[in-house]
Structure 1
Amino acid sequence: MSSPNRTPSQTPVQAAGCVLWRRARSGGELEVCLVHRPKYDDWSHPKGKLKRGEDPLAGALREVEEETGYRAAPGAALPTVSYHANGRPKEVRYWAAEAVSGGFSPNDEVDRLLWLPPTTARTRLTQPRDRDLVDALLNTMRLA
């Protein structure tokens, strides 16, 4: 929500995404999905800006499907991440989400996708703030 005293450049951009996971076909080990965005040449979790009036969880699931081609079953809420992007504050709400169907095809936003064990995913992620989300996913799965 924007404060009446905030200028548009101070109002956080609202976004949402998921730490998408699945069980590996061989062995059933946990794998985390990372996407490569050529525009930024980075590895991150699927996420994107919310549409006006869009529910954050619905937006997170929409972004996952648009960027990865996978439909996801949402799980626990994960920490919200706040940072500055293009000179504006940004808040990204995250959820754990299990990939249930679909498949990846490269698109304008994402040219590559990897399914990696959590420890490998942590080292591949470009931003340290995204690494903390892998830890949050693992913690929620231990508690489930």
Structure 2
Amino acid sequence: MTPDTTVQAAGCVLWRPAPTPGEPELCLVHRPKYDDWSWPKGKLKRGEAALDGALREVAEETGCRAEPGPELSTQHYEANGRPKQVRYWAAEAVSCAFSPTDEVDQVLWLPPTAARTHLTHAQDRPLVDELLTVLHHTPH
């Protein structure tokens, strides 16, 4: 890897049906190392397919097994002085058993409006609307 090699990562906008009918709840993770709230995501392992990596990261960070849906937008930004690309998928949480780790110490399930304002990084916010568009056009 050189300083200009793009870091490849993947994650999910994880959702579950709300306890009452209406908008879904979205899962945000808190990373104490950065003290931020974001979507579950992480770097891909060598040779790992992006969707496999996204689902692995969801499982590691949230304790959730997820059913992947459509791919969402890919984000490109700089992290630690290197270009980074993160591919995202919509994913429905099937079963969850969260346990805090050094990497992720909290998860929050929030309705879309609250999730949008709670996300630390501006580039994460458009994925809320993208997920809602996908969910409104996909039979569950």
* 2:118 paired with 1:117: no
Identical aligned residues as a percent:
69
Q: Helix, strand or coil: the match of 1:105?
A: coil
**1:68-106 deviations in whole A, cap 9, x for unaligned?**
000000000000000000000000000000000122111
Q: CA RMSD in A?
A: 1.1
Take 1:28 and 1:131, find their aligned partners in 2: how far apart are those partners?
20
Q: How many aligned positions are there?
A: 138
Higher radius of gyration, 1 or 2: 1
Which among 126, 135, 139 is matched to residue 120 of structure 2? 126
Q: Which residue is equivalent to 1:141?
A: 135
64-73 vs 133-142, which moves further: 133-142
Q: For residue 36 of structure 1, what is the aligned residue in structure 2?
A: 30
The normalised TM-score by structure 1 is 0.92
Task: Kindly report structure 1 stretches of 4+ aligned residues shifted beyond 3 Å.
Answer: 26-29
* 2:98 paired with 1:87: no
Q: Which amino acid aligns with 1:114?
A: L
Q: Secondary structure at the match of 1:58?
A: helix
- For structure 1, which segment, 108-117 or 28-37, has the greater mean C-alpha deviation from structure 2 after superposition? 28-37
Aligned counterpart for 1:19 among listed residues 13, 19, 23: 13
Give 1:133 shift. 0.8
Aligned-residue offset at 1:29: 3.8
TM-score (norm 2): 0.95
Q: 1:143 to 1:26 in 2, by over 3 A?
A: closer
Contact 2:13 2:40 in 1 (8 A): yes
Runs of 5+ unmatched residues, structure 2: none
Unpaired segments ≥5 residues, structure 1:
1-6
The aligned runs of 1:24-103 (5 Å cut-off) are 24-27=18-21, 29-103=23-97
Distance 2:72 2:23 in 1: 21
- For residue 49 of structure 1, report the CA deviation from its aligned partner: 0.2
